[in-house]
Amino acid sequence: MTLELKGVTRKVGSETHIHPTNLTLEKGTMNVLLGPTSSGKTTLMRLMAGLDAPTTGHVYWEGQDVTGVRVQDRQIAMVYQQFINYPSMTVYDNIASPLRLLGASKSEIDAAVKKSADLMKLTPMLDRKPLELSGGQQQRCALARALVKNAGLVLLDEPLANLDYKLREELRVEIPKIFEESGSIFVYATTEPEEALLLGGNTATLWEGRITQFGPTPTVYRQPADATTARVFSDPPMNFLSISKTGAQLMFGDGQSVAAEGALGSLEDGRYIAGFRPNHVEIERHGADAMRFEAKLVVTELTGSETFVHLDHHGERWVGLVHGVHELELGSALNVYLDPSHVYIFSEAGQLVAPASYAIAA
């Protein structure tokens, strides 16, 4: 069981929403579409489902071209950010509705509904109406209705975005377990890198209608193919700094330099771009090798146990995520520190030349 997109594009008028895309998804896999709003996640899902037709290219299901096949004639299920249930029906009847449309027998429906309800922890609520449920339970009902179809392809378009934190965390843990039992191809769209990491499986990073990288989620996170992928797979986005290599030294801003060792030693002399994630920025030096940069503090945001510091480094905007609550004076000069092992090196064109050494070790 495979889903293949071959040379698929999507244009609306003069605007290109999806640039030429090739993608193959295998049976029993969790596949995350990760990207900011308007990056093309929902459009790509609609093409997979058959809700929209590609401008060019073809969609294949199990080797058969289904590009022109109606969505109702495909073996798919889809759950949206705005969960949809039938308010006049019980939870049982909501879950059963797709099977009744397919003409399944009463015994088949009962067995499938109970199995799906058990997976989603809805068994005690089967006689209730959706409006008698909490928001999280209503979304579970929508998910159960999608799963009961035993669809080969399940599309989840930011299904947890409108739920509170506790419910999101619970369902993030449950969804991978559900997909493992079903054996279906799951495609899950999200704007949150943390959610992609929690779900695991494979991740496709999207930027302005292009898939920039696709592969096992930890690999895409630790070894992004380019600066765009690194920016997408970091929240807040990765920070960047222009650097140069001369001989056996990498020269950073503020007169900082580190030895070009290992993979860095083979780099040609010239200019590069260094990238580092916000959680690797520190306001206290840890380790003798940490590099020090002078920056201006622009904004601070407290998140409870952590502090976001927004910095101006000679016109470059950086964000740091530091542990603890820090009372800092806005507009003041601030020394920040960075462990060289956390630095990625990209070419000036943005292609990854050397991953951070911590990422290789991981």
pLDDT at residue 218 tops 70 = yes
Region of poorest pLDDT, from 17-26, 40-49, 102-111, 280-289: 280-289
* pLDDT tens-digit series, residues 101-131: 889 999 999 999 998 898 788 999 999 999 9
pLDDT at residue 56 tops 90 = yes
More confident residue, 345 or 166: 345
275 Cβ contact partners less than 8 Å away, ≥ 6 residues apart: 227, 230, 238, 239, 240, 241, 343, 344, 345, 346
What fold does the segment set 236-361 form as a domain? OB fold (Dihydrolipoamide Acetyltransferase, E2P) (2.40.50)
Task: Round to the nearest angstrom and report the end-to-end CA distance of the chain.
Answer: 32
Mean pLDDT of 218-234: 96
Question: pTM of the predicted model, to two decimals?
Answer: 0.88
Q: Residue 30 and residue 246: Cα distance in Å, rounded?
A: 44
* pLDDT tens-digit series, residues 146-199: 888 878 899 999 888 777 777 777 777 777 777 677 778 999 999 999 999 999
Common-topology check for domains 2-228 and 236-361: no
Tally helices (H) and strands (E) across the chain: 9, 21
Residue 26: its H or E element: strand 15-26
Region of poorest pLDDT, from 97-101, 276-280, 325-329: 325-329
What fold does the segment set 2-228 form as a domain? Rossmann fold (3.40.50)
pLDDT at residue 362 tops 70 = no
Boundaries of every domain in the chain: 2-228, 236-361
Provide the 3-class DSSP secondary structure of residue 30: strand
